[in-house]
C-alpha cells in the first residue's frame, strides 16, 4: 500500500505499514483521498533531523483525524526511526495524533516509543534531500515554501469500504486562522 506525494520540489512515494498500524494508515489514506493534504505546506524543517507537515493552517497548530480531533498511538517496537525517510505521526504527547506527520532526514532512534511509525519513503529520497537543504527562519519554517500539491493513494486496501460509523472526513479550513489570545498547543517533536 502506498501514497504518492507531489510537492513543489518533486514527487516521493510512501510505503505504508498498514498491517502494523491500521488505524494510523487508514487515517492517512482517507485524508489523502479527500484532498485534505492538498495545498498544505511543510511548516517545520530541521536539517539533519526532519520535515513536518499535515497542518492545514501551516503553522503546526492545526489538523484533525478521521476519528475526531485526535486518536491513540500505534507504537510497535519492531517499527523504528532507524533510517532516512521514515514517516511518523507528529504529536503533542501520548495519544494525540491528528493529521500532522514528519519525515526523517536520518536515523532518529531517540524518537522510538514516542511517535507512531507508519511508513517509509521508498522512491524519491532525492526530493527529501533537496527539501532538507532549504534555508529556514528562526521558527524553522522554510524561507522558500514547500507545498504538497497532491497526496494520491496508489494502493488502497480499504478500496470500496465505507468509513467506520464513528469516523468522518474533517473539514479543511478554507482560510488561514487568525492569531487569538488563546494559544493552541503546537504539535512538536522532541529533539
Active site residues: 44, 49, 52, 91, 102, 111, 115
Residues in CB range of 130: below 8 A, 6 or more apart: 9, 10
| Closest listed residue to residue 134, CA positions, set 5, 38, 46 | 46
Phi, psi of 72 (to 5 degrees): -75, 160
Pairing of β 44-46 and β 50-53: antiparallel
Residues composing the chain: 191
| Helical (H) or strand (E) element with 77 | none
Phi, psi of 152 (to 5 degrees): -115, 125
Amino acid at each position: 500500500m502506498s501514497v504518492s506525494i507531489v510537492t513543489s520540489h518533486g514527487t516521493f512515494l510512501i510505503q505504508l505499514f498498514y498491517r502494523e498500524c491500521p488505524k494510523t494508515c487508514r487515517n492517512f489514506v482517507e485524508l489523502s483521498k479527500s484532498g485534505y493534504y492538498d495545498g498544505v505546506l511543510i511548516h517545520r524543517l530541521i536539517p539533519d533531523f526532519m520535515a513536518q507537515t499535515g497542518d492545514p493552517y501551516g503553522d503546526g497548530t492545526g489538523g484533525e483525524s478521521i476519528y475526531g480531533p485526535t486518536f491513540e498511538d500505534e507504537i510497535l517496537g519492531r517499527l523504528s526511526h532507524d533510517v532516512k525517510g521514515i514517516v511518523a505521526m507528529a504529536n503533542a504527547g501520548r495519544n494525540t495524533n491528528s493529521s500532522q506527520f514528519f519525515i526523517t532526514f536520518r536515523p532518529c532512534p531517540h524518537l522510538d516509543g514516542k511517535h507512531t511509525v507508519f511508513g517509509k519513503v521508498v522512491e524519491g529520497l532525492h526530493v527529501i534531500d533537496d527539501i532538507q537543504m532549504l534555508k529556514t527562519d528562526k521558527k524553522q519554517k522554510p524561507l522558500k515554501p514547500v507545498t504538497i500539491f497532491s497526496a494520491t493513494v496508489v494502493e488502497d486496501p480499504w478500496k470500496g469500504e465505507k468509513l467506520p460509523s464513528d469516523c468522518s472526513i474533517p473539514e479543511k479550513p478554507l482560510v488561514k486562522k487568525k492569531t487569538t489570545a488563546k494559544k493552541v498547543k503546537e504539535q512538536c517533536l522532541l529533539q
